[in-house]
Structure 1
Amino acid sequence: MLSSSVLLHLLHIDASARIGLSGRDRHGSQTRRLSRRFIDRWATMRPMDPVTYRDVGSVPPRPVSGDWIAAAFTPPERRSEAQRAMLAESDRLTAEVGAADLIVVGVPIYNFGVPAPLKAWIDNVVRVGVTFGFDRTRVGEPYWPMLPPGKRLVILTARGDYGYAEGGRLAAMNLVEAGLRVPLSYIGIHESHAVAIEYDEFADERLTASITAAEAAVDRLVGDLLPGRRNESDTSAASTVSP
């Protein structure tokens, strides 16, 4: 197990287009509410752990372009100044992921998937030669993750409808968790956990109950992920809580 004295670096990402927090600001974001609760509770338990914050909902990364792809696939020693400038933002984003032990993402469901700014972030951090390797001559699997092991992902999401959890009426239409878990596991982040608020568009007692249950689930998850509270050999776990 990790020692409680070892510093853990958190990367906190918000992807909602709404800038406020529900329960505090008019039309505030449910996912920002959950992610802020997670970070604040973690800081209460472990104030020494550094946190890097990136608000892609307010400041979206540049989408991948043809010039970006050309620069990424050019060997570093052969890149022009323009190509290095093209990749500068991706360099910063991948460095943040590389430094993080725990990535906490507040992400609403938009049209069944992740918001476009978060997809741009994913496309910037899933990068050949930096976070995943590729060798067409390699025997067996030509791709492999390059991030060091042990990183963990927390997905804090909100849904206007209900029944998106596994076995639910809309489970097949929930592309948010898979939209993060699949590409991030591809680069080496294999353990993930998710908590969701549902019934957001109904705005009735079901939403109130869902928020209460999700906040309690966030509190439990913080406790479960604290050093000394988990089995470090369990690196492929994935859990979902959907009130």
Structure 2
Amino acid sequence: MIIGCPKEMKAGETRVALTPEWTRTLVQDGHEVLIQKDAGANCGFHDADYIAAGAKIEETIADVYKKAEFVVKVKELQAGEYDLLQKDQIVMAWFHLAEDVDHDMLHAMLDHGTVGLGMELIKLPDGTRPTIKPMSEIAGSLAMLEAVKYGLVDRGGSGTLFRKLSGLPAPRVLIIGGGHAGVNAAEIALGLGLRVTIVENYWKRIAELRYILPGVEVIAWEDATVKEYMAV
């Protein structure tokens, strides 16, 4: 199969769907891989890295779409990509059609006879979603770091420093939900020496969290309890 990886067109998007290492794996499995010029530059991957992995470099995004049977990207299709779509071509990306339907994009795919695979819908036999987990880990970690920033007075916060200091009680952090994002937020908070509480709705997950995060207080969701913790 001819697999193409274009450079992301969405403003502010710096990721790339294929690394040189995964490119090498695909080539070794017999696929032909096309990478748009500078597609991985913002991630620190150079065209030479992809060439060394066995890929071919295409000058333009149009070249990638014209030749590829399977296009793999990160974000949903942008307006500038609609007319590049091919009949029976497969495009895999984070479409999120179940959350916020982009009707123009959807109609462009239907009009061109293009098959879309939502990366967020990939599910393994054990029920886990391998593409969701790393995204949630990043989001949870950044959420805690953002909370530290917005606790400062010049950011509209109360002036609380979310860090344990000698001789002072550690600030308390309440995390709603113990999924991948919540766990990673808790790990960052623990690293800062904070007192961490996770509120979770499912008893099975509560038991899991108490096992994997022994330094965290894990409680079941009850409106009165959550209000009490938030009032502290």
**In which range does the TM-score fall when normalised by the shorter chain?**
under 0.3
- Larger Rg computed on CA atoms: 2
Using CA pairs under 8 Å that are at least 6 residues apart, name the structure with larger relative contact order, 1 or 2: 1
Structure number with the higher helix fraction is 2
Give the TM-score of the pair, scaled to structure 2: 0.22
